[in-house]
Structures are given as structure tokens and as C-alpha cells.
């Protein structure tokens, strides 16, 4: 499995890159996990604007899904003809949410270009991936995603506060891409995001083999988030950065 960071800026795009979006690929099959503002810029840089097989949305907050609107235009109005219709998976109401965001008139809306499918908890087969969804704490319906393929596991937190579901998603993962939006000293309300310390704690409880911290808002000091995570997780840990590529080899770790 290969993961490319298209965007890792938390809650809104940063000066150097897009809001949440990640390209996951294996054997030429590609899915985009979340599509926050600026994701399309980064996706075009990979050279794979049109060869995406599905879009998978962890939740429907604006910073995780609004570039689907631009992607609709890119696929539908491509000069050489529309790109094939692909599935867009997301929480309940995903189709209506994105039609409204685009301000598309009923009835078909973006469904001309995307086949909208609403998530159900549990395990799904998406191309070569075995995907298990775990509900996580966040103010809206939100999921952590665990992908397995050929003996390797990759987990993505989406946006999540503390909880066992996140630990289960990341159990023994070869790579755990986990949000760490907050400094502990900020005393933010529970149920929305994780501190660096909490991200490390969850990775340790899960037995994750490698931790990459993401979804840091532009005002969040990365060095201090990293230091917090290192207090509670003693494996390999780093901050996500735009354009970073992670190859998760079979049997790694």
C-alpha cells in the first residue's frame, strides 16, 4: 500500500498545503480519503486526477469534503468527455450535503458523476482493500478507517476525539495516520479532537508500529505536538507534510 499526503492542514488549508486529503493506492487501484479544500491541487500534482476509483469521506465537515464539488466539474466537463462515474462513500446524507454545497439543482445533482453510497458500520470490500469502519467521537457522524491488504494494515483516524473505536481501528497497524489538532494546555472541550499526547496514547494502546500525526491547524506548533506524542508513544513518529509518500511494505514491522 502507498499513502500520499495530499493535504494535512487541520480545519482549514495552510500556507503550504491543503486541508485533509490522502491518496491510498495498491496495484494501480486508487482511493482518495477525504477531499478538503486544496486537495484537487495536490491530486493534480500526482498525475492521477482522473484515475481515482473511489472517494471515501470520513465525515462531512467542510474541511474534509468540499473539494468533491470541484472534482465534479473536473470529471463531468473534461474536454475529451466525462470521466467514468465513480463511487463517493460517506456518512448519511452525503449526496444531499454535496449537492447543497455545490448548489446544484435537483433531482440528479452530482449523482450524474458520482455514485453516492452511505457508510454502514463494519467491514467492506473496496477494490483490493478490506476496509473496516469504526465510529469515532466527533460532533457529527464520523469514522476511523482501517485498510488491510496482503498482510499489511493502514489506519486513518479522520477527525476523532478519544475512544476505543479509534484504538480498534489502529490495532497493530503498520502505519497509523492520526489527527493531533490540539495542545494539552489549551483545555479544549472533549469530544471533538485529540491532543498530541492523546494521539500517542491511542497509538500505544493500539500497538501501532508507526505513527504519523496529521490535521494540525496552521496555528498549532508542530514541534510541541510531536513532543507530546513522544511522551506517550515510543515508536517511530513524525508529522505529516504535504506530498509525503509512505510505502507500507507487506509484513513491515
- In angstroms, rounded to a whole number, what is the distance separating the alpha carbons of residues 162 and 195? 9
CB of 213 to Zn ion, least distance (A): 14
Q: Which CB, 61 or 149, lies closer to Zn ion?
A: 61
How large is the angle between the packed helices 196-206 and 222-232, nearest 10 degrees?
40
Q: How far is the CB of 214 from Zn ion (least distance, A)?
A: 10
Closer residue to Zn ion, CB minimum distance, 91 or 109 = 91
**Closest to Zn ion by CB, 61 or 95:** 61
| Least distance CB 57 / Zn ion (angstroms) | 11
Which residue lies nearer to Zn ion by CB, 63 or 228? Answer: 63
User: Of the two residues 139 and 151, which places its CB atom closer to Zn ion in the complex?
Assistant: 139
**DSSP letters of 77-122?**
S-TT-PPPPEEEEESTTHHHHHHHHHTPPTTTGGGGTEEEEE--SE
Residue ranges of alpha helices (H) inside the chain are 39-46, 62-65, 67-76, 94-102, 164-169, 196-206, 222-232
| Residue ranges that bind Zn ion, judged by CB under 5 A | 61, 63, 159
User: Which residue's CB is nearer to Zn ion, number 24 or number 26?
Assistant: 24
Shortest Cβ 29–Zn ion spacing (Å): 26
Is the Cβ–Cβ distance between 19 and 36 less than 8 Å? yes
Smallest separation (angstroms) from Zn ion to the CB of 138: 5
Smallest gap from residue 217 Cβ to Zn ion (A): 9
Is 152:249 a contact under the CB 8 Å cutoff?
yes
Which residues have C-beta within 8 Å of that of residue 84, sequence separation ≥ 6?
A: none
Distance from C-alpha of 247 to C-alpha of 75, rounded to nearest angstrom: 28
Amino acid at each position: 500500500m502507498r499513502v500520499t499526503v495530499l493535504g494535512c492542514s487541520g480545519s482549514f488549508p495552510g500556507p503550504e498545503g491543503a486541508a485533509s486529503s490522502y491518496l491510498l493506492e495498491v496495484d494501480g487501484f486508487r482511493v482518495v480519503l477525504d477531499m478538503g479544500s486544496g486537495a484537487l491541487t495536490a491530486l493534480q500534482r500526482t498525475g492521477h486526477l482522473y484515475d481515482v476509483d473511489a472517494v471515501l469521506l470520513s465525515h462531512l465537515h467542510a474541511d474534509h469534503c468540499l473539494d468533491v464539488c470541484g472534482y465534479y466539474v473536473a470529471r463531468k466537463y473534461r474536454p475529451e468527455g466525462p470521466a467514468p462515474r465513480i463511487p463517493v462513500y460517506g456518512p448519511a446524507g452525503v449526496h444531499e450535503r454535496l449537492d447543497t454545497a455545490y448548489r446544484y439543482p435537483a433531482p440528479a445533482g452530482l449523482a450524474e458523476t458520482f455514485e453516492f453510497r452511505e457508510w454502514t458500520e463494519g467491514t467492506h470490500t473496496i477494490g483490493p482493500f478490506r476496509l473496516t469502519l469504526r465510529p469515532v467521537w466527533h460532533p457529527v457522524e464520523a469514522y476511523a478507517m482501517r485498510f488491510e491488504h496482503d498482510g499489511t494494515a493502514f489506519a486513518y483516524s479522520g477527525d476523532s476525539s478519544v475512544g476505543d473505536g479509534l484504538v480498534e481501528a489502529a490495532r497493530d497497524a503498520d502505519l497509523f495516520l492520526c489527527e493531533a489538532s490540539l495542545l494539552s494546555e489549551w483545555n479544549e472541550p472533549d469530544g471533538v479532537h485529540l491532543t498530541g499526547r492523546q494521539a500517542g496514547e491511542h497509538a500505544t494502546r493500539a500497538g501501532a508500529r508507526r505513527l504519523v500525526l496529521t490535521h494540525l491547524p496552521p496555528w498549532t506548533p508542530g514541534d510541541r505536538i510531536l513532543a507530546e506524542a513522544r511522551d506517550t508513544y515510543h515508536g517511530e513518529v513524525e508529522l505529516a507534510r504535504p506530498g509525503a509518500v509512505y510505502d507500507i511494505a507487506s509484513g513491515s514491522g
